[in-house]
Amino acid sequence: MIPDALAAQLRTRRQAPAVVDPEQALTYADLDGLSSAVALHLEQWGVTAGDPVIVHTRLSRWAVVAMLGVLRAGARYVPVDAAFPAARRELMISAGGASVILTEELLTSLPPVGCSPWRDGPDAYTMFTSGSTGVPKPVTVSRAALSYSTKARLEYYGPPPQRFLLCSSISFDSSVAGIYWTLCTGGTLIIPSARPFDVRALVRAGAAHRPTHTLMVPSLYRLALRAPMPSLSTVIVAGESCPPGLVDLHYERMPHAALYNEYGPTECTVWSTVHRCVQGEDPVPIGRPIPGTTVSIDDGELCISSPGVVSGGPVYRTGDRVSLGADGLLRYHGRVDEQLKVGGMRIEPAEIEHALMSHPAVLLAGVAVPYQGVAFVVCAEPVEPATLRAHLLDRLPAVAVPTVFERVPRLPTLPNGKLDRSALSRIGPAGDGPPRRAAAPAQNHDRPVTSTLCDAREVSADGSTHRPDWPHRT
């Protein structure tokens, strides 16, 4: 389905805009000629069906050109975001096993050529898991699985995106959702910045290009809501647990737009369940299986059976704890291996974080694992620790309320945008003493090289920014 659908759009939508980034826009005709040039180059270099090809670019129009060119050649692409830290890129390139690397320098030197045929191949891409255990794992997704996942998206959401705001790294599998959902149906991909978490660029692109659809991690969307985009009709959050407060904030500031919470491991081709969010749900459900997928629960662990499963047989054990409500909706309760035991009680890190973010002064919150009674908070305004404790005591068991609140300007994230709990533990308490104040990112050498930073700058409707006056540790 994917090659045929892409080829049809490249053939019939010649003068329509296909990809827009901050530097240039490409029509479908441009995308056709440039991706054909990539496919021809790969053929000349001896790349055959099924071979891996590294796509080492920024999040940009060139990344999309390279991906389609690799697929045209019958090969599979391994996306390595050039904005990632060097150590992680080296690991991914080494594990990718490819003999050919496509860089932006090379891609810009290839002149467009006449339309080349689309060659068959078994696989579409190899994506790496987030590496929260320390070693990213490659997951290869077949063309059949990608076609199924995209078809299910079309079936579930109905009318496809006219203009999709792409806010995911090319090395994060949520980018797959936006790229193929949009290009297979003739829409326009809008890339705000080479840095997926650049809130200022996101706001500017929203005002300039009026996107209709987008997908973000919840923590990024929470920041983006400080300057709502009235053109959006469909907003999807995925990749992290969705806080109830975010749903309320969305419908307060974007009541005209539908908000969906998607869930799915990389090993199941982007998504496996989905829920259209409504106010008042706590916790926010991850919903029901997508079309064609079935799920089961084994001793509290979610198991997925789907044409999108690409690892370990027809059923994938996720390692995620879920429950099934009387309403038929699945609810996520954290990782099997991350549940905290505090004062004899079991509690999820996300439950503490969500309770903190329900306070109006708290933009983002993070709790390290192992838990040491410290919560890291990004705040929009000064707030007393006693105020936060009182807020949490109304929502959590007393033993789960943090004893220290560490004010930080940003939370560390993994390259895919998810909270990096390992990095949080590095800036937590030293021994039995009080926690040390988190240093500014550029000066903090304790942060692991695999982390990027989610910036909490305040954003106004015109895209201008200023930093809040961050106080010292509370």
DSSP, res 433: S
Q: Is the pLDDT of residue 331 over 90?
A: yes
What does each C-alpha distance from 413 to 46, 86, 137, 194, 380 come to in angstroms?
38, 16, 18, 17, 19
Q: What does pLDDT average to over the chain?
A: 86
How much of the chain exceeds pLDDT 90, in percent? 69
DSSP, res 374: E
> Higher model confidence: residue 413 or residue 5?
5
Q: Kindly report whether the peptide bond that precedes residue 211 is cis, defined as omega within 30 degrees of 0.
A: no
Structure confidence at residue 237 (pLDDT): 97
User: 31-45, 202-216, 441-455: which range is least confident on average?
Assistant: 441-455
Q: HEC string of 86-122?
A: HHHHHHHHHHHCCCCEEEHHHHHHCCCCCCCCCCCCC
Contact 420, 414 (CB under 8 A): yes
CATH architecture of 348-427: 2-Layer Sandwich (3.30)
User: 160-164, 222-226, 256-260, 450-454: which range is least confident on average?
Assistant: 450-454
Distance CA 473, CA 362 (A): 14
Give the tens place of pLDDT for each residue, 247-298: 999 999 999 999 999 999 999 999 999 999 999 998 999 999 999 999 999 9
Q: Is the pLDDT of residue 368 over 60?
A: yes
Q: Is the pLDDT of residue 134 over 80?
A: no
| Average pLDDT estimate for 27-51 | 97
| Average pLDDT estimate for 180-197 | 96
Structure confidence at residue 451 (pLDDT): 28
Structure confidence at residue 12 (pLDDT): 97
Count each helix (H run) and each strand (E run) in the chain, helices first. Answer: 13, 27
Helix (H, G, I), strand (E, B) or coil at 145: helix
Structure confidence at residue 341 (pLDDT): 62
Distance CA 148, CA 401 (A): 44
What does each C-alpha distance from 183 to 8, 119, 168, 390, 474 come to in angstroms?
10, 18, 16, 49, 48
CATH 3.65.10.10 is the classification of domain 2-335: no
| Average pLDDT estimate for 182-188 | 98
Contact 303, 291 (CB under 8 A): no
380: closest CA among 398, 362, 395, 396? 362
Give the tens place of pLDDT for each residue, 86-98: 878 888 999 999 9
Give the tens place of pLDDT for each residue, 60-75: 999 999 999 999 999 9
| Average pLDDT estimate for 363-378 | 88
Residue type, 459: V
> Higher model confidence: residue 124 or residue 410?
124
User: What are the sequence ranges of the domains in the chain?
Assistant: 2-335, 348-427
The pTM for the full model equals 0.79
Residue type, 460: S
CA atoms within 13 A on the CB side of 24: 10
What does each C-alpha distance from 261 to 25, 78, 389 come to in angstroms?
30, 27, 29
